[in-house]
Amino acid sequence: MDTFIKLRDIAVAGHMDLEPDGEPKQSPPISPSTHKVAACGTVIRHDPPAHSRPTPEKELGITQLVMPGGKTMPALKSMITTACERNCFYCPFRAGRTYRRQTVKPDEMAETFMKMVRARKVEGLFLSSGIIKGGVTTQDKLIDTAEILRHKFGFRGYIHLKVMPGLEKDQLRRAMELSSRLSVNLEAPNDHRLALLAPKKQFVEELIRPLQWIEEIRREEAPNRTWNGRWPSSVTQFVVGGAGESDLELLSTSERLLKQLKLQRVYYSSFKPIKDTPLENVSPSNPLREHRLYQSSFLFRDYGYDLEELPFDKKGNLPLNEDPKLAWARANLIERPLELNRASREELLRIPGIGPLGAEKILKARRQGKIRGVKDLKSIGVQTKRLASYVLFDGRRPQQQLRLFG
């Protein structure tokens, strides 16, 4: 069978559209979504509107990845096989489900991908797989594909490889030497919740341990044999709402991963039931919940917040109607606003509307003179709509300054 037909079948099997890679905007869309989570972190989109027919590129699994700085990159997102021996309860590729499976050999995948590169259809590869004959055997297929691309074809672009449950540490090291990014998808925040989603997966031995290995290798070994002279980044993903987990459970695990294991980011994918799976009658998760989880994980990674500072309710969930950073500021800064001309970088990042770039602009402007009011902030490109209640300019609230400017 023609490999392009196989790739089309792999994509069409679930209308496959994987999670955004790299560094998407910090405020993911909160409108209702049609995506569903599939095997090994694949997000499956079902029932697209009649007016939005997929393009030939989409039919093959070509998607735009959003990279750091907002740059987009066309990438092939595909799988070595849609067959799987695992029985994850949420996954359309689970064992025992009836539909046509497809398998692509490593040399087929590499050669076809390079044809797409030469045709300027893609610049990168995001490669996953169902699990057949165990994680070790399956991981070899992913590694073999990357080996062929790097060494036979001399491909120097972006490769994101999935880490299969049960792989060996030497395999992981080789995957790190060949890839730009690796992902180990936990799916659930702890072993109890994972058992409700994927009963054959082992939370610590198969999922947490590879993430620990990645950080150990990055910390202890020089990247002398890597394709580009540096170790790849690492990410993970959770299924949100499929196992009754709380936001506190998800974010406590996320905080440890980001701070201790140095993950580049954590993805959250709202659960939606898929027919002919054990969870087909479970209610879908509110996509606004996914949005609040993203905001909170960015607070850990980029803003220096701790888990205890987030506004959880008695059930361990975040309020859906309020940005968690704004909620913290209302509780802590209304009565004790920060002096903008003396606040440290860490304090500036606590002010609503000020992010890492805005904080750097303020620090630079302060080296040249005092910031006297909102007008000065606007002149250096800092957003001011949300900060008025939380700052002082030389001891005065900005409302008083605004009157002076008319």
Read off the pLDDT of each residue in 222-235 and give the average, rounded to a whole number: 97
Question: What is the structure's pLDDT at 39?
Answer: 40
- Nearest Cα to 185, choosing from 159, 211, 205? 211
Q: Provide the β-strand partners of residue 45.
A: 35
Question: What is the structure's pLDDT at 67?
Answer: 77
At 147-192, the pLDDT tens digits run 999 999 999 999 999 999 999 999 999 999 999 999 999 999 999 9
Phi, psi of 387 (to 5 degrees): -95, -10
At 324-361, the pLDDT tens digits run 999 999 999 999 999 999 999 999 999 999 999 999 99
Question: What is the structure's pLDDT at 320?
Answer: 95
Is the pLDDT score of 61 beyond 60?
Answer: yes
Is the pLDDT score of 41 beyond 60?
Answer: no
Q: Does the global pTM surpass 0.95? A: no
Q: Which of 218-232, 271-285, 374-388, 390-404 has the lowest mean pLDDT?
A: 390-404
Residue 233's pLDDT band (cuts 50, 70, 90): very high
Distance CA 323, CA 277 (A): 34
Beta strands, E only, 281-342: 338-339
Read off the pLDDT of each residue in 17-21 and give the average, rounded to a whole number: 44
Question: What is the structure's pLDDT at 24?
Answer: 39
Residue 29's pLDDT band (cuts 50, 70, 90): very low
CA–centroid distance for 51 within its chain: 29
The full set of domains in the chain, from first to last, is 3-286 (3.20.20.70), 333-404 (1.10.150)
| Angle CA 166–171–172, to nearest 5 | 80
Residue 59's pLDDT band (cuts 50, 70, 90): confident
Tokens of 313: 């309710």
Distance CA 368, CA 352 (A): 24
- Pick the residue with more confidence: 70 or 232? 232
Residue 399's pLDDT band (cuts 50, 70, 90): low
At 211-224, the pLDDT tens digits run 999 999 999 999 99
Residue 16: partners with Cβ closer than 8 Å, 6 or more residues away: 10, 38, 42, 43, 44, 45, 61, 77, 78, 79
